[in-house]
Amino acid sequence: MFLRVLLRVGALVGLVISAEAAAKRPNILFIMTDDHAAHAISAYGSTVNTTPNMDRLAAQGLRLGRCYAVNSICTPSRATILTGQYSHKNGVPVFNHLDPASVTVAHRLQQAGYYTAMLGKWHLGSEPQGFDHWNILPGQGRYIDPVLYDRDGHRIYKGYATEVITDLAIDLLKNRPKDKPFFLMCHHKAPHREWTPNDRYRREFAGRTIPEPSTLRDDHVGRADALREQRQSVFRDLTRHDLKLVPPAGLTVAERQRWVGEVPVEVEIVVDGRKKVLRGDELDRWKYQRYMQDYLACVQSVDDSVGRLMDWLDANGLREDTLVIYTSDQGFFLGDHGLYDKRFMYEPSSRMPFLARWPGHIQPGAVSDALAINCDFAPTFLDLAGVPLPAGMQGRSLAPLFAGGTPVGWREEIYYRYYHDPGHHNTAAHYGIRTGTHKLIHYWKQDQWELYDLVADPDEMRNIYSSPAAQTLVAGLKARLKQLQRDLGDTGQHTVGPLPKDDVDIRVKQMDRKHPDSQL
């Protein structure tokens, strides 16, 4: 209770938290996945799956309902988490490298006496800096028999990536130096495309019928052109590779590559021993099922991993001393608006799951709908480690949210910007502002705007930007948006760090070509 009061007060007098927290200096286990949407976690009200271990984490700790990536794409979100900065400041707006000279939260925790380690998906091109130990997947990595790199080179780890990375995390925790608190970033590849489950969950989910989201057949009427012109449609863009269709026998390697890369307009399946050809709406429904069955099967292994890690901490006397966080680098469209992938500022894509447990410091079952962003993670870690917030970090410590609710004086709006245009999935560049009740988006190349009332229209189906009744609101939000850009130093002239060239990603891509998975 004392700490809870202290945290409330701490929202007004920031230093109090740091002084209190510095004395505790928790271990930090940061578990992050790739592309796991909050609405595929039952603690977030999922209608499509059940995640008992993530639910346990939520029940024992805090669930943030409104935590957002400020640029909803893998590499930039990772750079933001490490630097506490927006993409226009940290030099990673797209798939470029994090400058190895960047000072990250890992450096600062290391300097403060933490043992720092990074395992699994890194995806920032350059070698990790500021970590006492690292062992990373190159690039996207692969699901089966992954290759991992460390300072001494690389090797293949037999098995399923989610389980391999969990094993490595437990080994690292067992063998860590015991005289220091630890900061472990445990980053899974799953459930990133191409959504390859392990055998157990592949079989288990193959027979399931997943409920369709209400917006699956969104016709995008009344919205910006960007929604119609994107190439991340479940019905129009999933390839045979995504759908795990098996190529006919006798194709050459080139023919096979072409075949799996195409979008099927009809698919032959076997039902009750009989062949059946699916087309049109029947095929669309089947595509959604195939996509979601594999995606959710991958999530299930992640949920097991979270359970194993929590169990290990609990069994080894580290429960009370360890802040455990579960998050994902961004959200994902689970057929919402007819889409898969991310990038857009819409809720399913930009919202991140964020669960945190620290017994005695985080209220069990706490829920906060305060607006949080991935820039806040690094300041939170530094706050809890008693390290002063460095100039240049653009987030704030989330510690005042540990008691649940929204503290007095908390931020009332967040800024978002997506850059990768031209880029994958033909997603138009845009920026915008989200408040507690509204979202204003500007597709600036087309000069098209969208405004959503998130209270009346949480699914973001009705663009009210041109509504006469909304014009005062529009003017107010545009002024706040401009002010946010000024405050955050986004002049539109962002820097871009080095682009991939001869690096660890390239070397392993060459190795990947020899791997049996790469044939698909």
- Residues interacting with Ca ion, by CB under 5 A? 34-35, 74, 329
Least Å from the CB of residue 279 to Ca ion: 32
Q: Are strands 153-156 and 147-150 parallel, antiparallel or unpaired?
A: antiparallel
Least Å from the CB of residue 30 to Ca ion: 15
- 386: helix, strand or coil: coil
Here the tokens at position 18 are: 């740091």
Which CB sits closer to Ca ion, 329 or 383?
329
Please say whether the dihedral angle defined by the alpha carbons of residues 24, 169, 118 and 78, taken in this order, is positive or negative: negative
CA 199/CA 294 separation, integer angstroms: 11
Chain centroid to CA 286: 26
Which CB sits closer to Ca ion, 300 or 374?
374
Which CB sits closer to Ca ion, 346 or 465?
346
Give percent helix, percent strand, percent coil of the chain, each to the nearest 5: 35, 20, 45
Residue nearest to Ca ion (CB): 74
- Contact present, 361 and 64 (Cβ < 8 Å): no
Which CB sits closer to Ca ion, 35 or 218?
35
Here the tokens at position 231 are: 């190439």
Other Cβ atoms closer than 10 A to 149? 21
Q: Are strands 182-187 and 322-328 parallel, antiparallel or unpaired?
A: unpaired
Least Å from the CB of residue 464 to Ca ion: 30
Which CB sits closer to Ca ion, 185 or 370?
185
Here the tokens at position 224 are: 């910006």
- In order of 202, 291, 328, the CA distances from 294 in angstroms are 7, 6, 18
Least Å from the CB of residue 188 to Ca ion: 11
Which CB sits closer to Ca ion, 95 or 149?
95
Least Å from the CB of residue 289 to Ca ion: 23
Least Å from the CB of residue 192 to Ca ion: 6
Least Å from the CB of residue 506 to Ca ion: 20
Chain centroid to CA 306: 15
Which CB sits closer to Ca ion, 72 or 463?
72
Which CB sits closer to Ca ion, 11 or 37?
37
Least Å from the CB of residue 73 to Ca ion: 7
CA 165/CA 174 separation, integer angstroms: 14
Q: Which of 74, 96, 71, 104 lies closest to 86, judged by CA?
A: 71
CA 70/CA 64 separation, integer angstroms: 16
